[in-house]
Amino acid sequence: MQWFIALAVQAATITSVQSGNWSDVATWDAATVPGEHDTVEVAEDHTVTYDAVSDVVIDLLTINGTLDFSTDQNTRLTLDEAAVYGSWQMGTTDNPIPRSVTTQVAITGQTERLGVYNGIFSVHGANHDRTWTRLAITAPRDSKRLRLKQAVDWQVGDQIVIASTSYDPTEAEAHTIAAVSNNKKVLTLEDKLDYKHYGAHHEFAEVGLLSHNIQFSGDEEYDAGHIIFNGSTVATVVGAQFDTLGTYATLAQYPLHFHLVGDGTGSYIKQVSITNSSNRCITIHATSNVLIQDNVAYHTKGHCYFLEDGVEEDNQFIHNLGVDTAAGATLDSDAEPATFWITNPQNTYRRNSAAGSAGFGYWFFLLDAATGMSAEDSDIVPRTMRLQEFSNNTTHSNGERGLTIDGEGFDSVYYMPTKPATFDSVTAYKNASTGIWVRGRDLTFTDATLLDNRIGASFAANNVTLTKSLVIGESGNDSTEGWMPYKFGFAFYDGPVHVRQTTFKNFKTEGDQTQAAVSILPTNPYAMSPNNSFADLTFTHAQEFFIDDVTHAGDMFAVLNNSKTGAVTLPLLDFHYTAGCVTKTIWNVYVCPHIDYGRLVFNDPRDKHYTDELTITRLDTDASIDMVEEGSSSGGRFVLNLPVNKTYRLSAGNIDELALEYDKTNTSIIVRLPYDTAPSRVTELGLDHEYWSYDTDTNELVLELRPDREYVIYR
């Protein structure tokens, strides 16, 4: 008991009585400087200059006036909690804390929070010409030398990170600078590189500065402090390092967190590094008009640069770098983290680099409504909002996709902006799955550069186009190669989607890895549009097409139209052969003269699940395709792309109520279905009896299907 009494006596509440230095006893009402576990208040209208280097833990520091850190001597403040209602001042724009001065804040204890509530958080460390650049040439493994594209003002002793350029994001590595060349473009490291970092052919490893003379830190990797801005706070932060902050798997505890600020005009985070975070990097929550620029994040967990509820608008993410984004656990989706998590497209993303994640580089997670704390107060529909800007961004070395617009199994996402959106100049390389993957409509990806991805681009979409782009299968980047069964430049899926005016290079099958410039998404059980198209493609050292494993509905009925010449590329199945088709054995396709295809949907409108198998036969050639229940062909529903002006026999008949939908063309087809007796009726708006009949010789219903109609047959 005496021990607890002693603690109570030692701890005190100390309040400023005048402006002055922290170390001056005359500043405080207790006539003593704050001590271990004290509660300290800087009173309103007072400015206290922090001028100490101390590991003494202040339990609670309340700032109603101004706490101003010395700009001419090293300082260290250790605290458990700070509540800022006035002003936290570490240098200014015109008078930043100079590089010769180190200013440190350690957040440790039980609460571990620095909160700013309707106050000012002004942090201005030494400015840098740039906080990250790229290699000019490849840095081999075991080398100590980095040649940079741009000159830097970094110094001996600074710590930097070099991003992975392989399929493994964890091949990023931190090093200390031992020497800087006179031209400031060559760095010598204290230790040898553990991995090769590539620097050629559009793939140049990023090199980022981690050291800053203002340093905020936590005390434990998984249970660390956090910094939160709330209310009408204005936060202006330049030239600081935030290390070991963010509490693992805990909502609202992030290294830098704009929380329900609303209009954040005037706030910015620039030239900072966020390292070893257990929970995100920079979070923008129900806050708009914030500038996030020239920052470097390395070795962090969970989604890194994060928009939270989907109501965040007009924020600018410009020239930020994220390296080695690892899985987190705050949200389910953090298990497959995105370096940039985007819940509202009405923000600007320009010249950023997502340089290695266990999951995704950029993840557009666009829902039908706002989420979280904004759900009840907003009628916003993120997935219909216009794209403000997405230009000149890079994404590489991700375990999944470089850029994805999808729910990825966590929710339904389909981006359909009210105004067509253009994604300009995306560079995506060394992504283990796909460079660009999209669910949506009315989107264009222009001037993209896609290299060394398993699939360069594939769209689960409607009216989405890749145009004026460069797609390379093998660039020469052999940084820690990982074997893949195939590499495709553009893989058709869903649709109609399109690829135009694009150059494909270096897609050559070698050994047991299949490579082709244009293909379809492998082993696809889902229906594809018969209007998918391509035009004006250039191929250099590249096999142009390949379609394999035509055993699924989406594979068997793939139709790729050359919209310029009219030719059609089709899977190598007898069903598709028409006079004039050329067999391309190596490509495993037919290339045929113009053939118009329509889409037939065989459907059970009463969900009776009449059949799980269907055979479709072309009567002009007697060629058949056998379909089984899978994907979009399931529950008694089958989807088929068929040449027009032909007659087909379907194996399934004698069904009490059967619907046939026919579209995607302007020309009719005829179908024959077995029925023991003539159907009682066939309905369709404006249907005349002359469009259907019953063949008593074969006991078949004969029905002419006209485009954009649905027919219902009653037994």
pLDDT of the residue at 484: 84
**Does 8 have pLDDT greater than 60?**
no
Query: Minimum mean pLDDT among 136-145, 283-292, 429-438, 683-692: which range?
Result: 683-692
Q: Please give the structure tokens belonging to residue 679.
A: 């159907």
Cα distance between residue 157 and residue 176, in whole Å: 6
SS3 393: coil
The phi and psi torsions of 673 (rounded to 5 degrees) equal -130, 140
Per-residue CA distances from 540 to 249, 344, 471, 506, 563 (Å): 48, 38, 10, 7, 21
Cα distance between residue 356 and residue 99, in whole Å: 30
Q: Identify the band that residue 483 occupies on the pLDDT scale cut at 50, 70 and 90.
A: confident
pLDDT of the residue at 177: 98
Cα distance between residue 39 and residue 49, in whole Å: 17
569 beta partners: 560, 591
Cα distance between residue 78 and residue 107, in whole Å: 6
487 sits in which H/E element: strand 486-492
- Give the residue among 86, 89, 93 at the shortest CA–CA distance from 75: 89
Find where tokens 């936060």 sit: 235
pLDDT of the residue at 544: 97
Rounded to an integer, the average pLDDT of 706-713 is: 89
Contact 297, 271 (CB under 8 A): no
The phi and psi torsions of 23 (rounded to 5 degrees) equal -80, 0
Instruction: State the amino acid at position 471 in one-letter form.
Output: V
Rounded to an integer, the average pLDDT of 175-194 is: 98
pLDDT of the residue at 597: 95
pLDDT of the residue at 685: 62
Instruction: State the amino acid at position 548 in one-letter form.
Output: D
pLDDT of the residue at 550: 87
**Does 460 have pLDDT greater than 60?**
yes
Output DSSP code: residue 602.
E
Is it true that domain 132-209 has CATH number 1.20.120? no
For 303-341, what is each residue's pLDDT tens digit?
999 999 999 999 999 999 999 999 999 999 999 999 999
For 514-546, what is each residue's pLDDT tens digit?
999 999 998 899 999 999 999 999 999 999 999
- Give the residue among 349, 350, 451, 439 at the shortest CA–CA distance from 396: 451
Cα distance between residue 545 and residue 514, in whole Å: 11
Q: Identify the band that residue 3 occupies on the pLDDT scale cut at 50, 70 and 90.
A: very low
Contact 234, 262 (CB under 8 A): no
Name, in order, each residue with C-beta under 8 angstroms of 376's C-beta and a sequence gap of 6 or more.
none
Q: Please give the structure tokens belonging to residue 103.
A: 């200013």
- Give the residue among 213, 20, 199, 15 at the shortest CA–CA distance from 104: 213
SS3 2: helix
**Does 700 have pLDDT greater than 70?**
yes
User: Per-domain residue ranges for the chain?
Assistant: 2-126, 132-209, 212-221+238-253+268-412, 598-714
SS3 171: helix
Rounded to an integer, the average pLDDT of 474-500 is: 91
- Give the residue among 275, 146, 136 at the shortest CA–CA distance from 215: 275
Name, in order, each residue with C-beta under 8 angstroms of 473's C-beta and a sequence gap of 6 or more.
452, 487, 489, 504, 505, 506, 507, 508, 515, 517, 542
- Give the residue among 582, 569, 505 at the shortest CA–CA distance from 537: 505
Rounded to an integer, the average pLDDT of 394-417 is: 97
pLDDT of the residue at 692: 85
**Does 688 have pLDDT greater than 60?**
no
pLDDT of the residue at 469: 98
539 sits in which H/E element: strand 538-542
pLDDT of the residue at 608: 65
- Give the residue among 432, 435, 379, 426 at the shortest CA–CA distance from 404: 435
pLDDT of the residue at 16: 98
Find where tokens 């899926």 sit: 493
Find where tokens 């340093």 sit: 215
For 263-314, what is each residue's pLDDT tens digit?
999 999 999 999 999 999 999 999 999 999 999 999 999 999 999 999 999 9
446 beta partners: 424, 467
Distance of CA 119 to the CA centre of its chain: 33
> What length does the chain have?
715
Q: What percentage of residues in the chain have a pLDDT greater than 90?
A: 87
Contact 250, 226 (CB under 8 A): no
Cα distance between residue 123 and residue 479, in whole Å: 39
Cα distance between residue 445 and residue 426, in whole Å: 8
Q: Please give the structure tokens belonging to residue 63.
A: 């700032």
Contact 623, 617 (CB under 8 A): yes
Contact 668, 694 (CB under 8 A): no
For 231-272, what is each residue's pLDDT tens digit?
999 999 999 999 999 999 999 999 999 999 999 999 999 999
Q: Identify the band that residue 2 occupies on the pLDDT scale cut at 50, 70 and 90.
A: very low
- Give the residue among 268, 256, 307 at the shortest CA–CA distance from 284: 307
Q: What percentage of residues in the chain have a pLDDT greater than 70?
A: 97
